[in-house]
Structure 1
């Protein structure tokens, strides 16, 4: 009985030790991206742009989860908040292209002018893997802002 009890303890500890590695490998889902976008839109409306952009870019745990993070653009293509790369904040990215030559920010701005919410596909560097991967981003327009959270496929 004592040996089997020790085996259970060892198995549990081994499982716990591998849990962070498993969690780190999980990808966010489309439903989680939509939920985080809606939470970000509500936070932006309640707290205002200064507090919201600081929270989104500052990797506030409410707006960052695994490979999910909030990004916000102005209707002119200027990056206002970026949960994965703060160096992009304040830059005009309207001419940015993905590896296939797609002007994804220009397309995002055009979609936001005609739709209150939408999904957009392009390629982007996954902050978890550091590799360029297919990405699908859910966006909602909030006042004159485009608030988005994407998933890596």
Structure 2
């Protein structure tokens, strides 16, 4: 095999590995990655129990934290049970939290979980990578009396 062919093959392999790891796709997660993260988090809650899973989400365990993608869990009253970006929010009643446009995003989330098993929600939130207020779209799945979510920044 000549040098050019070996280089092209090595480059293709490196690009494939980088894409699978999330490194090549840019700094922001995708919708598919958010859905996959929520499904993985819900499976962890079922397998390990809520307490252990919530601790993993909040501690930023690598399995549940990827670039700007992290898991949050709320109970049906708006109390934060786990937050992969800000542990200080855990245990707080956030039902009246508003984004910069005045959207009650947690209240809206609680209303949506009453009628939908899964949904996407748009609002504005601080991007943990850029530290700027950014448009965000969060995917959520209802799990018993909680909602498990992970969002992407646009």
Sort the TM-score into its range (normalised by shorter chain).
0.7 to 0.9
Give 1:35-74 correspondences, 5 Å limit: 35-74=36-75
Q: What is the match of residue 91 of structure 1?
A: 92
How many angstroms apart in 1 are the aligned matches of 2:84 and 2:92? Answer: 14
Q: What is the match of residue 127 of structure 1?
A: 128
Given that 1:24 and 1:66 are in contact with CA atoms closer than 8 Å, whether structure 2 keeps it comes out as no
How many angstroms apart in 1 are the aligned matches of 2:82 and 2:26? Answer: 25
Question: Are residues 1:139 and 2:137 paired?
Answer: no
* Aligned residue-pair number: 135
Q: Secondary structure at the match of 1:72?
A: strand
Q: Which has the larger radius of gyration?
A: 1
In structure 1, runs of 5+ residues without a counterpart are 1-18
Q: Secondary structure at the match of 1:105?
A: helix
Q: Which stretches of structure 1, 4 residues or longer, exceed 2 Å deviation after superposition? A: 22-25
In structure 2, runs of 5+ residues without a counterpart are 1-17
Give 1:101-112 correspondences, 5 Å limit: 101-112=102-113
User: 1:24: how far off?
Assistant: 9.8
Q: CA RMSD in A?
A: 1.8
User: 1:26: how far off?
Assistant: 1.5
Give 1:2-21 correspondences, 5 Å limit: none
How many angstroms apart in 2 are the aligned matches of 1:102 and 1:42? Answer: 30
Q: TM-score with structure 1 length normalisation?
A: 0.84
